[in-house]
Structure 1
Amino acid sequence: MLNSLRSIVQEVNSARDLNKALAIIVTRVKQAMHTQVCSVYLRDPAGDYVLMATEGLQQAAVGQVRLGRGEGLVGRVVAREEPVNLEDAEAHPAYQYFPETGEERYSSFLGVPIIHHRQVLGVLVVQQIERRRFDEGDEAFLVTMSAQLAGVIAHAEATGTMVAVGNTAAQAKFLGVSGAPGIAMGEAVVVAPLADLKSVPYRPCDDIDAEIEFFQRCLMAVREDIKGMGRQLEERLNREERALFDAYLAMLDDASLGGEVIAKIHEGTSAPYAWSEVILEHENTFASMSDAYLRERATDVRDLGRRVLAYLQESNQHCKVYPDKTILIGDDLTASMLGEVPEDKLIGLVSVQGSGNSHVAILARAMGIPTVMGAVDLPYTRMDGRPVIVDGYKGAVYSDPSAQLSKHYSAIAREEEEMVKGLEALKELPCETLDKHRLPLWVNTGLMTDVVRSLERGAEGVGLYRTEVPFLLRDRFPSEEEQRIIYREQLEAFAPHTVTMRTLDIGGDKALPYFPITEDNPFLGWRGIRVTLDHPEIFLAQIRAMMKASSGLDNLRILLPMISGVQELEEAKTLIYRAYHELLEENHDVKLPPIGVMIEVPAAVYQARELAARVDFLSVGSNDLTQYLLAVDRNNARVADLYQAFHPAVLRALLQVVQDGHSQGVSVGICGELAGDPGAAILLMAMGYDVLSMNATNLPKVKSVIRAINLEQAESLLADVMLLAAPADVRERIEATLRDAGVSRVVRPLAEAD
């Protein structure tokens, strides 16, 4: 049964739509379990569970048999949220017979729930006329099948219908993580790497004859390529090996793959998408075969598929047209993909892969383009040309939005514009409370494009300059002189204000293409200071470049990431002192800059006092600290609801750090996303944080909130929330304070969308 399981799972994962997946499940499970019936019931919008696919019951019953939660044996599976295994189903009080199935009464029944994100999406059932007690292995097999089916069904249910995306438009919501804040409303343009069979976007075909002619031209080009390769290798290969090229040519014949593709084009599908569908189906067929030789032929089919697809896509690239309001969508967006879109037309980005710290997200923030990353459930290949809303604040993507939702987000966008204009007047005003408590607001930067935006919004310094960004933009490590030039630009732009430069922080979800780090658990692995201490040549070159860049300006601070103990700090300081003395010996006019530690792992929280005694300042990285304290990957959309920066444990850790830092006479700042949350800024000020550093976009909002309250109000709010036990209660208490201060619209411009 294990071989059957692998084969079915592979087929289901390759299915391009829900109907195909259901057909595979009911047919193959019935065969594998040697039963007479296999059926799938799915939840409809009304909450009932409807027979959607069957092998063994009358097909006319599909869509007709309907049960509510708790109704019949299927309803019992739903209500219990666990398998129901009965040898004599008719004897059970919940048993119901449906004459419309036109079949015998079945005695044996095994039903398992199909669950996705704690929701019962449906029920997978096998039945048999003879009495049979399905054993534990049978149950385990069916549970595994239901888990595979859950993701496929979730995709279809998210679209609001049980038909393939692109047939009937229905509003759908997909969650990811915020890459760059803002609202974008436009038309989706799907991009994919050339020759990636699984990423070909669905596009309809208007002129069938022209599309078939185009397809056959591409086939002819590939035929010539294959013949040419055969001629070049003729003397180096034996007859059997040369036969592979003949097999390739045969597969391209109109009676084989070519004919299947032409049939799909006649149905109104574009040639690239039709080709990818046919190739994936054949590849899957070969891959699922038991014979090892035939199974290996899947590789040949895939290779041929990529060759033809490259021609199909390359020809289409030359006539690519981008709409005025382009929202670029892809599996894994790259900087080069962004560069292909005219600057005045690109208004939003959505990437299925990636995180808020991905290179594309960093660029998007610098360019002010609303972005959602990690939208793992998004059926992106079917999104091309569809209306889309990108909510970069909440990390949400809406396809085919209703008129009501579009109106809602249009109002948010207008209010955001008005609010930004109103906040511009605050640029020259100090960030201080009504009772004159001063709180400096700094910015987080990574690119030179961040500088103008930061200065326009009245930044008083840089709390975090991400030095890894210049490393990410190259195909090799930048030299010491190249780094010095880059750092000098940042230091000069903000002089005389302080610029805090974090040493190279790679690893986790930030890997350099020329220095790959492959680990099973990268966030708990080789990253941050651990990498640079193991490679002192990289660390020393960076420190020397920083110090030389600061010569004559002396506005540099050095920040060490991922410090988890005193020993790491001492090792890093030793290297910094070494670089400093080397530069003095080389007659460079440099000064030893202040050295600080990032508090972003729990160990550093509980050693904050000892660390503070050995440095000039502390800076909390709230993003990593929150994920480590809560054991929640902050870039994983599936557990996004568990990533709560207002969790009482996080607030207590933040308070302890600032108290321990101040006990040693050092300043304590915070440079995570929490610092840019206007409501959180009130709490951080009350805790005693000396500096808040944030994305430049959020700086005016935070300043407006701080200027609307007094310190006593903030301290009263802090005292209240430190007694609360749930993040939602903390957020509610903060919002009440903002409403009382008349600045709630800065945090939540309009009511939340559903």
Structure 2
Amino acid sequence: MSEIRRILIVDDDFQANGKTDTLFSNCGVPVEVRIARNKNQALAVLDDWFAQGHRPNVVTIDENSVFMNNVVSDVGVDSSLKSLDKTAGIEVLSAVISRCEAEGKNYVPDQFFMHSQDPINYPPKCDYPLGTLYTEELYCISWWGDLEERGNLHVDGDIPNNASLEEQRRLKAKSYMFSPPASLLRAYCNRTWGTNFILDEDEYEDTYVRPERLKLNELVRMYDSQLISLETLFSYYEPQKRAFEERVILNGKPKMSGVQFVDSAGDSMAGRLAFTHADINKLKQEYPQDKIILFANEYTTEIGALLPLVDGFILIGKGREHLKTLAENNNKACVLNYTPIEQSAEFRIGHKSVSYSGIFNATAKPTGIHDLECGHIVTLDTVEGRVYPAELPLKSSMDVDKTCVERFMELANTARAYGNTKIHANADNETAIAKALKDGAEAIGLVRTEHMLMFEGRRPYYLKLALLSQDEGEVSKALSKLKALHIEDLQQIFQQGATTPIKVRLFDAPASEFLTDAECAQLRADVGATNMRGAQLAAQKPSFYQMQIESIFAAAELSAHGGHVEIMVPLIRSVDEVLKYKESVAAAARFAELPYEYGVMIETLDAYEQIEDIAAHVDFISIGSGDFMSEIMGGVPRDDYEGIDEWKIANGITVNPFDYMTQPLAEKVIDLVARAREANPNIKISICGQQAGKDYQTIKLATELSMDAVSVPARAIKQVQVDMAHVIATSHSINMEDTPQQHAQPAQELI
């Protein structure tokens, strides 16, 4: 077995920029990559390796930072900080060298690198254990036997990554990818380890870009000419391209600077900027044909009420996960930050340069954005996560022959016929359901009823009254109003779905998403801190779920829905909860005289431990990967990025566990599926969550476990169809010369 090379990357914003999704995974040699965001985390990684008798082969450190030195990273960003800390990388390098030397000469890395997207000439005088370095250039320190020997090399431009064509396209878009400094670490890895990183732009074009343009057309032509088999066609397909997620993108590279955000969703778009409800009303009157983009410092219930009125939004503070979900399921564009951080960029408007710089704070607008007033046109680039202060041309991302794509999708669904797993859609309104069915969804796997009640019209008012009022008369009146509105919304959904099975999940939203801080405190005092969500909240407010259950059956009856009515209870923690709501659903079904199926979401470790008893009493279960992963991580929420980083370092994981399948979650899922089927051979099992819509390994695991379905956002359906076809076509356990049949092959390992 080849020697494992170990690389430590120290970079405060590495995860935010999405560079490590599958870092070094296809570089040609086995590599273990560990990520640290600051000095303390870097030293913890070293200690872990040293305890196992390992040493790092390469350490690469970001040369400037707002987070990496201990003072900043341990206590948060100092409000007085006005610029990047241009010595933090040097301080981390010094600490790492000291720690390695203290462990012994055999534990000192072969090579140190300083990397930067914007190389600059410094640093100031900095003391090292081996002496003093003072130079006009950043140093790459080399250790070849004698610890005092060092090479005077340039700062590196970026981290190499052969993970996927998508990542290579991202790197190529950056002007420094093939400049000499940027090739430094790639060249070192190729020279010393035999990796296969591309160093030359012409080689990149010849290897990836030109063949990719011909690949799809050529593969389809060869199959239709009976020159290759279906297995061969999909074995040539690169499953991580995400080429089938049709979306709107920028038409060409912008000739102006944009402000970088760290997350995004939806189609790229141009629209007029609004900051308040009054701004939105004004723009709708003055520019009725134009789209509107709402700017918000953080998500609040007031902001939530405005979302149906706009086409896109910019978020710079908390609430990212919730808003991204809303964007994906309501076809809205968004760019988002994890936390309020300092940003710096230069907008070029005509011949005028406008400075955009400053600490984002809780004021109406961030410092430095004063030139962009209400009504100013901006463009959201949701591919790169950038905001540009002008209207830019847009185009469809589908740049290959549409006839060819349609034929390829036909072949993908032919391959999928040899498997068990269906593709369902997450959709919360009739528009989203229509798009999902058009794109090939075989059922609606998740309708989140909270999104019907939290925003539009008087619904939020009645929702708060129903949950917060201590007056029984007020609660009864609020529930009656909500029921009428709920039936109206659900009826439209059932009508749009016609004969399609539709799985409706009862209310499950964190209180902070629809209540103010004061209202959250009021609810907490009433129901208890552990009863603020899902089935536990409903146990304290039993009339609320009863109203929802009756609304679902009433809407299905009024719409003459011909598909299955499927009701799903979220956040189950005990068998008693399962039985309680099962009886409520059965009673409502008897009254409505409608067929139905009853199931629950498995999102807690309590439910996981009791899965045999739960499975015996339900028709289906749906594994909610996000909340389940949070519990596996000890309760770390998906928007606690420091907590996520700490967990990743402690568990040797380089990807965001809420976006990609990891071994801890895979092990639980495999065990859960086996035990549930043993307890109830007829049970239907699916998985939903943002992982299923973007991660090939999640689709692979679900397909190999022969789950009944994966439920994904409508935008991802075509890509998931192709990914699933790739899994099936390349499986050695399936003979595609035979007639399609059911293949239930439990997964033995996560590949």
> What TM-score does the superposition give when structure 2 sets the normalisation length?
0.50
Q: Which has the larger radius of gyration?
A: 1
Structure of greater relative contact order (alpha carbons < 8 Å, 6+ residues apart): 2
